[in-house]
Structure 1
Amino acid sequence: MSIETTLPMGDLINPGQNRLSRIQIVNWGTFDGAHTIHVDRAGTLLTGDSGVGKSTIFDAILQVMDARPKMNEAAQNNGGTAAEEKRTAFSYMRGRLGTQGMEAGDGTAYQRPGATWSAVCLTFDNGLGQITSLSVLMDLPATGTEHHVGRFYAVHNRPLDIPSLETGMRGRFTKGALESLLPGAQIFDSHKLFAERYRTALGVEDEKAFGLLRILQTGKGLGGTVNDFFRNHVLDTPKTLTAADEAVEDFSHLRSIRRQLERARQQRDHLANVPDQHRLFLTTKAELDRVRTLTADGLPAYRRRLALASHERDVDRLTGAATTGREALKAAEKQRTKLKKQVAELTARYTQEGGGAIATLEREVAAAQAQLVSRETVENAFRADLRAAGIDTDLSPAGLVTARSRANELIKTLNADVDAARERSSDAHGEAWALKGSIAKLETEIASFRRRRSNIRPESLEQRARICEATGIDEAEMPFAGELIDVPAEHAQWRAAAERVLRPLSTALLVPGEHMPAVTRYLSETNLRGFLRCIDVSIPVDGPSEPGPRDLITKLSTYDSAMGDWVARKITAHYDFECVENPDELAKVSRGVSLGGAVKRNSSTTEKDDRHTKASDNVLGFDNKDKIAALAGELLALRASFEEADVVSRKHASEQDDLIRRLAAVRKVAADTREFEEISAEEHRAAVTAAVERLESARDANADLEQIRFELDTAELDLTAATEKIGVLKGDLARLEAELTAATERRDTLAGRGPDALAEDLRAQLDELFAPFGEITDVVHLNDAAGQVERNLLTEAARLDKTLLETRTRLERTFETYSDKWGSDFGTGVDSAEEYVRRYEDIVTEGLPQHESEFREYFNNRTYERFSDLLQLLDEERRSISARLLPLNSVLRRVPYHVDSHLEIEVKTTVPDDAHKFRTELKNALPMMGVRQDKADMDARYAALEGLVEKLKDPQERRWRAEVLDVRAHVTITCTNKLANGQSFTNLQASLMSGGEGQRFTAFIMASALAYQLGIVSQGFSTYGTVMMDEAFVKSSLSFAEASINALHEFGFQLLLAAPEDKVDLSRFLGSVTEILRDDAANRSGTLERVPVGSSGGSRAVDILLR
């Protein structure tokens, strides 16, 4: 049983289904005046010669059904020219006749050049007495243009009352005027509202159905594969998209709760150290006050007490020492008196025994010895001069003459030797000094490289720093190219070649495009006092994109960053030099570089630059570790060379000094004019010998006198010692008495001030501080101990003060940042610390647990519900496609496609990898119900879910979002031709068929698609059933067209077809045929209707009124 007979009511076709019954056209194109076309409930064919106005009628219908209709689209889709696109509502309303004259600028002739109005009304009848008419009413002033066309739309329960409009309308259409002229009609000035209303009136829920009807009407075809057609034009927009939007929107509330939780956590973490720091602040402040009290009050009083006790001990000690000193002085004076008497007695006795003569001889010996010492000094000095001059001769009158003669000869020789030595010393010293300067320069350079990582020269780095300071750009955004290029260890032998080839690029500053104007402005306005090349990296790099196997880029590595990638492309494109180890191979390549650094730029130019060959000249490298190591090696070599040069320099300097000293000695010998007797000490030695012999003879003559002399000398020594002792004792006694007087005054002065009050706790603390110094017995010891204690106290106070300041600063900085981030009523001073401690305790004990509980509750319930529903909906929506499409096969099986064959729609599940991954990630991100989750697991799941939500919201991820949520992309729809013998032809495509076969296949698929959209199969009936086709089956044979029409009928559709006269046989399968006529002379069209023979249609002809 076919669908069209599911609700039989007598001979009426599909009662209850809205089918087109009448078309009214007023002043539209060549249809001048009012025209009515009746449409049979079993379908109608509009036919006629080309150009009579068939497409004009369909364009009029589009004015009702479409907000932005494209005119004559069917003719264009079937080979029409671009000129057809010039048809507009304006040209139809005016009735365009053509262009007046042949010259450029001539005007266009119209049938209705003045003020006019047009109307199109489609009347639908459900066969049960219910009429629904849809109208568009347009007007145009006399001088109006395309932009002055006015449009109103009407939905009514009767055909359009054209006479009322003709007689009752004055001026242009208005909503109020139309409501008065058409009582009971709903008037709209917006096609959107009009479309919503007429879809409701006709019982069509989804706008897609009318989109399919427009595709059928214009003959566009499927526009691709069956799968693409169903995905783009048939399948409903899945609810998953809306569900995802709602879940994402609901997630914003969870995110708000999460932000509150994160804020509480951040506040907790921010204030976590405040309690400990506050305790440290209070204890440090108390300790500092104690130390300051000890220093300012306790120590001075304690020190005075110790000083008074020390002074008392000093007075007692000095009193006893003074008494002992007086007794010792008295005894020493008594001993000296006794010794004086003894010396006087021995002196008198010595004189009586002849001691005066011996005394005279002793004085003579002493005088002779003194003269000998003086002359030996002269002689020894002269001998030293001879040794220094290198003159070997004895000291005699003849030797003296020889020495002076030899000296005069040496002067000439030594002058030349000194000049030569001075020159050698100067050269050696200069070489050593130059090496020392090179060492200092290299040490400075190494130190400079150690302070930075870059191999770029310091002056270039300074230029970049100045540019960044002036423009506010971060230095990291503008690297030098050399900082992004390195030579791996396995290609280290190519470093020298790479340095030569890439020096112009490596020393260039790379500037992002957005910063180039600011950098250019700085360069223009500033004297750099040097050279700097800047490259805009936003400009695309032209040239080769893939390197050759031996290109220079294969020997390098570039930094893993966007800039590094640009440098790699730049080297690949513009520095495509082949690396050849044998220089002979350079002749075989167009551009290349040898291992020795020879660079072949082109077929005629080969160059080599050895100006920058030292390690310090290298500019390539991610860092300068290798460069520093190389420079360190150079430094060691320089130091070794300097040590050798310094040894040589010192040797030559010593030789020069020796020659200068010898020359000076030689000149001194040559210039000495003294006689031999003035130099020699021989005569004086003889005089001393004779004097000593006379003294010894006198002493031998009187042995007793020697004993007396010994006793006298001893007594005189004792007397001298006694006298010296008395002097010492007197001095000691005077010092003791002075010290006693001073100590007594100090004691009395200190005692007169009275005792200082000293608290017991301070005294105990000071006793502990002074304990390491032991018993303090004197003021010096006291001063040392007190000074050390005071220094210790001041040091401790300084430490405590620093700790207090640092703690205060940390607390206040913490409070300031807290206030800046979250606001605070407590202030930011350290006095507010207790309030912040209480705030921290409130957060830890109440606020944070509450936020965590609220977040856990919402995340585990509301969020889980939303996103788990989305996961379930993804499956349900995908399955619903099959559930709604596959029942269409029951209808397709009843309609032959070929002889003994029918079409069958197949739906396969083809979930993309990204969609499957999304479902897995979403499932893993949702909380696990019934399992207790710790904080880390919940945070991880939230972060994963937030990442998915952000991706769903990201406009740049629209393609991904559609892929994972739009279940229409999760199925593949194909069509198979099933033969009676069981054979099948799968994946049929209209684009692979002939024109007629394609139209037939398209009709079958379109019928299935409309049935899907209108719910004919799922609910067994549709309240709308009219299908309109312009240029219908113009490429198909009659048999193909019959099969297509049968398919459309089988799905329960009424057909309004437009086709040329050669396709009039199509009317055999319809209820009526209407011929479009046109008076070429008047350029006016009309209609003539008839019912085909054998048809049961009930249409009637209408009068043709050409006016």
Structure 2
Amino acid sequence: MTMIDTLFGLIPQASRGEQWVARDLQLINWGGYDGHHRVRLSPGATLLCGESGSGKSTLMDSYIALIMPHTMPFNGASNGGIVGRPRGKDQRNIVSYARGKIDESRTAGETKARVLRGDGRDTWSAIAMTWVDQTGKTFTAVRAWYVPSAARSVDDLVQLRATCDNTFDLRMLEQASKNRLADQAVKALGLRPHNTDKEYVARLHTALGIGAAGDGNKAVALLGRIQAGQQITTVDALYKTMVLEEPSTLATADEVVKQFDELSNTRIQMQTAQQQVNALSPIRGHRRAICDANEQIQMIDDIGTFNAPSSTAGLWCLGKRVELLEAVRADLETRRNSAKSEFESASVVAEAAVAERDAVKETLRVSGGDRLANALREHEAAERRLGPIRQARSRLDNHLKVLGRTAADKDEFAALVEQARSMLADEKARESARDEFADARSHVKDLEKRLTAMGAERKTALAHRNNIPNDLQQARAELAEAAGLTLEQMPFVAELIEVRTEFEPWREAFNLALGGFATRILIDTAHLDNFRAKINSVRTARRIQFEGVPTGLRDQISLNDRELPGRLEYRNSPFTAWLKNELAQRFRYVCVESPRALGHHSMALTISGQTSDGRRGAHGGQGRRNVLGFTNNRLLKLLDEQINALEEETAGAAKRLEHADAALKSFENHRLAYSVVAELAWGQVDVDSVIAERDRWAGIIDDVQSGNPEISRLQDLAKKLDAKVKDLGGARARAEVKAQDTQNAFSLRDTETEDTLQALNDAVESGQDVSEQHRDYLTELFSTNDGGDAPPEKALDWFDMAISQVAKLITAQRQTAEAAISGARRSLAIAFSSFVERWPNPNLGTDPDASYGDFERVLDELEASQLHELQEQWRDSLLKLSGNDLTSLDSELNAAIREIKDRIEPINQILAGLAFSDDDHRLRIDVRDSHTAVRAGFRNELRAVRQTIDQAAGDTEREQAYLRMSKVINRIRRNAPDFGDLVDVRNHIRISAEKLNAADEHVALYDHIGEKSGGESQELVAFIVGSALRYQLGDGNAERPRYAPVFLDEALIKADARYTGRAIQAWRGLGFQLIVGAPNDKNSAIEPHVDAQYLILKTAQSRSWAKPIVGVPEGEGQ
């Protein structure tokens, strides 16, 4: 490529001059640049140098604020090349630049920024850049912000985005700023305002020719990354990041995923339709059940009740009853006639038997039968008295056995009765026996209660493992629960101390000396106020003493074992140090062996528990329960001994109760026996006298009968005739009753038959009738209750009973039908509700009656067409996805790799015209394929899935093909872990740079940029990035880029003048205009290769300005 030197720098000789270069940059109130500033830029290369913090990057950031998106951070050099993140509060931003933030100060805990302007008042800021092309045409872009005093973020600002096709003096905005940059005021200055960033950026890209095919955002983003000096370590990453945009394979994969999701949606709709059919299929059965049940209820309503003659059921019953009554009447008539004949015959026979008996008795009386009759009566009376007297005597003998007595005669019995009455009158003996029993029983109960209480106490002691009484522990637990504290946070003093083994005999004395202090609860003072507030409403049966004490004190107290505190062991706890100190001060009793030694000490204690405190003292209380100790082993042992003693005592008391109970029962048995004896008289138990009387009358009967043998025969005959008369009389009476009963029954049935027949005739004459359907229904109901072949009377009874049973059956059938309707309606409501819940539809209700038609239409549509259409659509979509989309993706993967390789060629053509390293060498971009087993397997699976779908003949095969395809599709989704490796073809190749000599022979390979020196890496990056920028700007095939400015913030400071010059030459050889920022100590290598140079200075008041070292004359570039 032949280059010529022009006012705009080196440009290709064949260029038509279509290029925009930045001519000047204007600032007003931007960062440290207070007021208006203007920097003229060379068309070739301009250097901005200065000390760190002088304001170089502030100028660079103004360019970012003017043309780049809000995601590009300011101050790329100082921010370490961070890109792609919105400007945050910790980065420089429009508000801080507009106010000229200097630093921050902290006063009274509040951070305040020190600014050059806008402190408590409104201010404004503006940036403008003017570009010019080779024809002299100019274009200016303006960004301005009105900053209210209360503004905290960009959203609080009034923003101006404007352009004009001419030059513009930024100072003219001063008047518009007074109107808060209103559109009318801006238009009056010749500017064209743009309401949105999108509109503004589109105007910039169109006017300045930024971006190929209208996509200027990528080009501007690359300009931002170049300015920020983004660090990339490999040629491969550099080229893929800078040059290659997102390949079409990603969009194709997205389209495949989209088509598959549509297919899945169709499948879901098909499955949903099938599920809907399954959900609604039962409703027809429910509807039929409702209709059948309604017909049953209608039938029951039509026939009416049996007790209403006007009803169908009543009319049918009348007819049936007439039929049965006529049969009963005929049967009764036959039975009546038969009973009448039987009565007449029985009367004749009975009268003959009476005449015969009377004749025999008269003969017997004449033969002496009166004396015999009297003897028989008396003998029978004696026999009757003998039974009760024997029973009374047997009862008396049983009680006599209890008493150990006998009563053989009247005198002995009289003496026994006297003794019984005397004994029953003695109440003291009875009370004595009862008192003895009551005392024994009360004693046993008391012992059992004590044993139960002691067992409970032992169980509680096992749970707590301390010696504190149960009521105190219960009260502490209630207070702890109310206060939200644990028991460990509320220890009793006694739980924290134990008597040392060698001083065990003093345990009782120590318990007496400590007294109530041992059962005091200790609480951390930090919890005391809250504890008092929380427990105030708690009521406990036992009063609790507590004390707030400091915790965590150092244990530095030395104790003397001659005193009580020194003879104790202490459990390690937060309260221990305080407790030792408290005991040492309040209970410093000297332990003495004799009470005579008590007066020798201010405070002393004897082993019996007597204390002395000066002239005061205390004694007594021995035998109290021990409360001291870390454990309650001693208490458990004592409780076991007491329980054993109580068990022995209880066993003895139980034996005493058993004896008392036996004595009381014996006394009561004797008393009962005596009471029976006292109630009897001798005549009630004198069996021998009654037997003697019975035997005497038996002797008289024998005498009479032995003297006249004929009397016995006549007596026997008279007895037989009496029995015969009695039997015949009974038969006659029964025959009479039977005849009368049958006559009465016949009369009743006859009347009933006539009445029923009349009622039936009346009903028929009134036009009532029973339909065949109703008759069949009623006949079927009575078929199991018609009495079968039973007699007419029985059949009628069965019919009468059947009426109530059938009525109950009808009621049950009605209830069953109503329940069936209710259940079916409930099932319909559930089905409808479930359907609407799963598939909401505002046009569908859930009423089982009103909505049934809608749901049946839905079911009909699903069964008739929708499900079938969805199944066809599912098959077509599956074949389409296989035939088109999967094929397209497979082809696109191959085509995208070829396209990347094809795009390398124009970049290499640009690089071929630029000397690299020296005039005899060039740089070339090489690309090679990167194969992996994962990608190969994926491509094979892609083709296999297509084949599987093509071969699928039935629903089962298509479903299997779908499931297999879903696994493939899930791998090419954006969020899939291997999406980038499979679909992004940029990962399918590896890019490197090759250094060639004049003969196109290989000299060196450049892969890892970081392995090169600073100068080499700068030159390499310049060549590759420059060519990439040409490509992104859309000028890859042109002789020069239409948009020339490139800002480099501290990007050319790592090499000597030779390599820096070659890097700058590379940029300029590609047709770019350079604006380079560098610190003072790094600019010497750059100065020989720039056309203009500015020194950025800052005053002591933090105000910056650009001092031209090598300036650009006015008019240059126009």
TM-score if structure 1 supplies the norm length?
0.59
Tell me, what secondary structure is at the counterpart of 1:928? helix
In the superposition, relative to structure 1, how do residues 654 and 179 fare at CA in structure 2: closer, same or farther (>3 Å)? closer
Aligned to 2:201: 192
Q: Distance in 2 between matches of 1:178 and 1:54?
A: 30
Aligned partner (choices 359, 373, 390) of residue 345 of structure 1: 359
Tell me, what secondary structure is at the counterpart of 1:207? helix
Instruction: Give 1:783 deviation, angstroms.
Output: 1.8
Aligned partner (choices 379, 382, 385) of residue 399 of structure 2: 385
Aligned to 2:859: 840
Aligned to 2:799: 782
In the superposition, relative to structure 1, how do residues 61 and 4 fare at CA in structure 2: closer, same or farther (>3 Å)? farther
Aligned to 1:356: 370
Are 1:694 and 2:711 an aligned pair? no
Aligned to 1:319: 333
Instruction: Give 1:194 deviation, angstroms.
Output: 3.5
Tell me, what secondary structure is at the counterpart of 1:895? coil
Q: Distance in 2 between matches of 1:51 and 1:375?
A: 142
Instruction: Give 1:874 deviation, angstroms.
Output: 6.1
Are 1:796 and 2:801 an aligned pair? no
Per-residue CA deviations over 1:1055-1080 (Å, capped at 9, x if unaligned) read 5656689888868985x744558999
Aligned to 1:635: none
Q: Distance in 2 between matches of 1:116 and 1:286?
A: 90
In the superposition, relative to structure 1, how do residues 405 and 3 fare at CA in structure 2: closer, same or farther (>3 Å)? farther
Q: Distance in 2 between matches of 1:240 and 1:529?
A: 79
Per-residue CA deviations over 1:514-551 (Å, capped at 9, x if unaligned) read xxxxxxxxxx9xx9999xxxxxxxxxxxxxxxxxxxxx
Q: Distance in 2 between matches of 1:398 and 1:764?
A: 92
Are 1:331 and 2:345 an aligned pair? yes
Map 1:751-900 → 2, pairs under 5 A: 751-755=757-761, 756=764, 757-759=769-771, 762-763=774-775, 766-767=778-779, 769-772=781-784, 773-775=787-789, 777-778=792-793, 779-808=796-825, 810-811=827-828, 821-822=840-841, 830=849, 837=856, 840-854=859-873, 856-857=875-876, 860-861=879-880, 865=884, 869=888, 873=892, 877=896, 880-881=899-900, 884=903, 891=911, 895-896=916-917
Q: Distance in 2 between matches of 1:378 and 1:1077?
A: 150
Tell me, what secondary structure is at the counterpart of 1:121? strand
In the superposition, relative to structure 1, how do residues 1001 and 923 fare at CA in structure 2: closer, same or farther (>3 Å)? same
Tell me, what secondary structure is at the counterpart of 2:163? strand
Map 1:709-748 → 2, pairs under 5 A: 709-748=715-754
Per-residue CA deviations over 1:710-750 (Å, capped at 9, x if unaligned) read 22332333233333333333333322322232232223323
Contact 2:140/2:168 (8 A) holds in 1:
no
In the superposition, relative to structure 1, how do residues 114 and 964 fare at CA in structure 2: closer, same or farther (>3 Å)? closer
Q: Distance in 2 between matches of 1:780 and 1:145?
A: 106
Are 1:303 and 2:317 an aligned pair? yes
Aligned to 2:504: none
Aligned amino acid, residue 15 of structure 1: S
Aligned to 2:955: 934
Instruction: Give 1:404 deviation, angstroms.
Output: 7.0
Are 1:1035 and 2:1048 an aligned pair? no
Per-residue CA deviations over 1:868-921 (Å, capped at 9, x if unaligned) read 656765665566556545886784997349999979666775999999999979
Aligned to 1:1007: 1026
Aligned partner (choices 102, 117, 140) of residue 135 of structure 1: 140
In the superposition, relative to structure 1, how do residues 655 and 905 fare at CA in structure 2: closer, same or farther (>3 Å)? farther
Contact 1:118/1:138 (8 A) holds in 2:
yes
Q: Distance in 1 between matches of 2:1025 and 2:184?
A: 41
Q: Distance in 2 between matches of 1:145 and 1:283?
A: 80
Contact 2:995/2:1002 (8 A) holds in 1:
yes
- Structure 1 stretch displaced more, 304-313 or 402-411: 402-411
Q: Distance in 2 between matches of 1:50 and 1:715?
A: 160
Aligned amino acid, residue 121 of structure 1: T
Aligned amino acid, residue 386 of structure 1: L
Q: Distance in 1 between matches of 2:395 and 2:147?
A: 144
Aligned to 1:467: none
Aligned amino acid, residue 391 of structure 1: G
In the superposition, relative to structure 1, how do residues 301 and 419 fare at CA in structure 2: closer, same or farther (>3 Å)? farther
Map 1:1046-1057 → 2, pairs under 5 A: 1047-1048=1066-1067, 1055=1074
In the superposition, relative to structure 1, how do residues 680 and 1013 fare at CA in structure 2: closer, same or farther (>3 Å)? same
In the superposition, relative to structure 1, how do residues 784 and 138 fare at CA in structure 2: closer, same or farther (>3 Å)? closer
Q: Distance in 1 between matches of 2:177 and 2:379?
A: 169
Tell me, what secondary structure is at the counterpart of 1:843? helix
Instruction: Give 1:702 deviation, angstroms.
Output: 2.0
Q: Distance in 2 between matches of 1:762 and 1:134?
A: 104
Q: How many residues align?
A: 852
Aligned amino acid, residue 1010 of structure 1: L
In the superposition, relative to structure 1, how do residues 972 and 656 fare at CA in structure 2: closer, same or farther (>3 Å)? farther
In the superposition, relative to structure 1, how do residues 228 and 393 fare at CA in structure 2: closer, same or farther (>3 Å)? farther
Q: Distance in 2 between matches of 1:361 and 1:664?
A: 44
- Structure 1 stretch displaced more, 1003-1012 or 822-831: 822-831
Tell me, what secondary structure is at the counterpart of 2:343? helix
Q: Distance in 1 between matches of 2:719 and 2:215?
A: 152
Tell me, what secondary structure is at the counterpart of 1:1036? coil
Contact 1:1067/1:1073 (8 A) holds in 2:
no
Aligned partner (choices 36, 39, 43) of residue 39 of structure 1: 43
Q: Distance in 1 between matches of 2:817 and 2:203?
A: 85
Per-residue CA deviations over 1:808-866 (Å, capped at 9, x if unaligned) read 55456656887895455999574885676455334321343334445654565489856
Contact 1:288/1:797 (8 A) holds in 2:
yes
Are 1:207 and 2:211 an aligned pair? no
Per-residue CA deviations over 1:475-529 (Å, capped at 9, x if unaligned) read xxxxxxxxxxxxxxxxxxxxxxxxxxxxxxxxxxxxxxxxxxxxxxxxx9xx999
CA RMSD of aligned residues (A): 6.8
Contact 1:391/1:403 (8 A) holds in 2:
no
Aligned to 1:23: 23
Q: Distance in 2 between matches of 1:174 and 1:367?
A: 146
Map 1:263-282 → 2, pairs under 5 A: 265=274, 268-282=277-291
Instruction: Give 1:1038 deviation, angstroms.
Output: 2.7
Aligned amino acid, residue 683 of structure 1: S
Aligned to 2:608: none
Q: Distance in 2 between matches of 1:712 and 1:1079?
A: 169
Aligned partner (choices 685, 688, 694) of residue 691 of structure 2: 685
Instruction: Give 1:352 deviation, angstroms.
Output: 3.2
Per-residue CA deviations over 1:6-31 (Å, capped at 9, x if unaligned) read xxx99954524655667346688699
In the superposition, relative to structure 1, how do residues 664 and 528 fare at CA in structure 2: closer, same or farther (>3 Å)? same
Contact 1:227/1:974 (8 A) holds in 2:
yes
In the superposition, relative to structure 1, how do residues 37 and 266 fare at CA in structure 2: closer, same or farther (>3 Å)? closer
Contact 1:53/1:1076 (8 A) holds in 2:
no
Contact 2:124/2:177 (8 A) holds in 1:
no
Contact 1:216/1:1029 (8 A) holds in 2:
yes
Contact 1:24/1:120 (8 A) holds in 2:
yes
Instruction: Give 1:236 deviation, angstroms.
Output: 1.9
Aligned amino acid, residue 697 of structure 1: D
Contact 2:249/2:896 (8 A) holds in 1:
yes
Per-residue CA deviations over 1:439-495 (Å, capped at 9, x if unaligned) read xxxxxxxxxxxxxxxxxxxxxxxxxxxxxxxxxxxxxxxxxxxxxxxxxxxxxxxxx
Per-residue CA deviations over 1:368-414 (Å, capped at 9, x if unaligned) read 43454454344233213224x26364735687589779978999999
Contact 2:126/2:143 (8 A) holds in 1:
yes
Contact 1:424/1:652 (8 A) holds in 2:
no
Map 1:619-638 → 2, pairs under 5 A: none
Aligned to 1:662: 669
Q: Distance in 2 between matches of 1:853 and 1:308?
A: 71
In the superposition, relative to structure 1, how do residues 838 and 365 fare at CA in structure 2: closer, same or farther (>3 Å)? same
Aligned amino acid, residue 1054 of structure 2: K
Aligned amino acid, residue 928 of structure 1: I
Q: Distance in 1 between matches of 2:770 and 2:400?
A: 83
Contact 1:379/1:680 (8 A) holds in 2:
yes
- In structure 1, the gaps of 5 or more residues are 79-83, 97-103, 433-523, 531-586, 591-603, 609-647, 1091-1100
Q: Distance in 2 between matches of 1:358 and 1:54?
A: 166
